[in-house]
Amino acid sequence: MTKRLPVEPAPGPLEDYAQRFDDLFRARAQREGFRRYLEGLLLPAERNKTLTALANTEPLAGAQRKEAQSLQWFLSESGWDQQEVNERRLKLLFDDQRSAPDGEGVLVIDEHGDRKWGKHTARVGKQWLANMGKTENGVVSVSSLWAEEGIYYPLEVEPYTPAHHFEGAKNDPRFRTKLKIAQQLVERSVALGVPFRAVVADSFYGEDEDFKHALSGLGVGYVLSLKDSHSWWHKEGEQIGALWEAALAAGWKNAEESGEWRRVMRTFRDGHQERWWALEVEAVPYSPEKSQRALVVTTDTERLPRLLTWYLTTNLPAPGFERQTESDLAPASTQEVVRLYGLRMWVEQSYKQVKHALGWSDYQVRSDTAIRRHWQLVCCAFSLCWWACGEHLEFIGAPPGIVLLGEEDGQASQAASTTKEGRGEKERASSPADMAASAEGVGAWLEPYVMLMRYWRPFTDKDPSEALRALLDWVFSGRGLYLYVR
């Protein structure tokens, strides 16, 4: 067998991570492109992370340089399988006790729209872009995300193709709705053996009966949002025909005389807790004794503020009722249902921020393969942030004049994390609130090395001095620098 040629290594933990994918890339240029692409995604965003930005070439004029062209070839033409890369990424996450999924987490269905101009990009069309809150020309993707209180990461992503791309429009057998894509993502997670307590998603999915029926058919639980206007057919003269009507009729007077409302405590990303109120609705289609339950969860039971009120439905049986013995799903109290849906709210804002920082929507390629590869590489960069922040780095032999990140009184801080035995008791290396900080932490050791080399190479072709080489070796090993005045 021909010996593989070495590639220019990536800085610090990024090289350790990249080596775990090397056997998936046959050519040296592919392995090189994988490292350079991840480097560019993980660096702080000085401009949109297009191919010229990732290659650090001049916009427009630098598009023809070999550095940019090599990344273009790697993304669009090179012969590697993005699905194999995703499977390897998930295996690394699942095999690591710090990030392995357990049955206390949830499977979040997330939808994202990338605004794009023109008509020649694969799957582009004028459609609703949920994250922008308006209809624009763009590309929409549906992704599955595993999350619990300590960690979250994407599992798979599938693009949605508007009907006008098919000869038979919506009647074409190849056409898939977003709901169908979401259902297939859940099916694939079940087939992979990914453990989760329930599927959680917004009202677009919660209002669709076929989607809920499909989830129940798979034998998985769900906690889905409903619209604040959600209502049902009821007999003339009956007072309650909507969730908000049930909330107003629940007998609330004050915190001491709360009627049917029950107090629940929510824990937020910064650790503080708030008192919310939850109502288990008993109306024609919903009841703790039926296959579907409905809950209203809010901070203000009288005004039901729109941004602070959830209308939820779930198929998880209520404890203490006959259906608990009839269902294969574990029972869930009102507090548990609120916790499960709260996990979606924990990650949604931070997840979108990190995807933006890593350049999820910044691709300037047209082919379906290139777009899918870009998304998978962003997922790799995202997962690297968890992987790197959980690695235990021992800081030994610091060069003179270099101060460690987080050093106090001459003692180096350690990033080691411990784990406890038992389901649901693992201590994670970080929390959802810290994901952006984890990405910044990666940039703390990646940016100094990459930028120092970028400054040095145009300045001279000589080797760096001994002191500069010591600095480069320090940041190359993945160790941070304290850059504030001391």
How far is C-alpha 203 from the geometric centre of its chain's CA atoms? 19
Q: What is the pLDDT of residues 13-61, one digit of tens each?
A: 899 999 999 999 999 999 999 999 999 999 887 778 888 888 888 888 8
Report the C-alpha gap between 199 and 206 in whole angstroms: 11
Q: Tens digits of per-residue pLDDT, 197-216?
A: 999 999 999 999 999 999 99
433 pLDDT tier (thresholds 50, 70, 90): very low
**Of 116-130, 207-221, 396-410, 434-448, which gets the smallest average pLDDT?**
396-410
Three-state DSSP state, 327: coil
The DSSP bridge partners found for residue 224 are: 201, 313
The pLDDT of residue 311 is 96
Q: What is the mean pLDDT of residues 114-140?
A: 91
Angle at 177 between CA 176 and CA 178, to 5 degrees: 120
**Range from 100-114, 186-200, 261-275, 306-320 carrying the lowest mean pLDDT:** 261-275
**In which band, very low, low, confident or very high, does the pLDDT at 67 lie, cut at 50, 70 and 90?**
confident
User: What is the overall mean pLDDT for the chain?
Assistant: 84
Residue-level pLDDT at 216: 94
Rg over CA atoms, the chain? 25
Residues sharing a CB contact under 8 Å with residue 2, sequence separation 6 or more, in sequence order: none
Q: Which residues have C-beta within 8 Å of that of residue 153, sequence separation ≥ 6?
A: 93, 99, 145, 146, 379, 382, 383, 386
Query: How far, in Å, CA of 278 to CA of 380, rounded?
Result: 39
Count of other CB atoms within 10 angstroms of residue 267:
13
Spatial neighbors of 439 by CB under 8 A, at least 6 apart, are 42, 354, 357, 358, 385
The answer to whether residues 319 and 330 touch, using CB atoms and an 8 Å cutoff, is: no
Alpha carbon 485 to chain centroid, angstroms: 35
Among residues 92, 78, 96, 97, the alpha carbon closest in space to that of 30 is found at 78
For the cut 60, the answer to whether the pLDDT of residue 392 exceeds it is no
pLDDT number for residue 389: 66
Please give the Cα distance from 197 to 220 (Å, whole number).
8
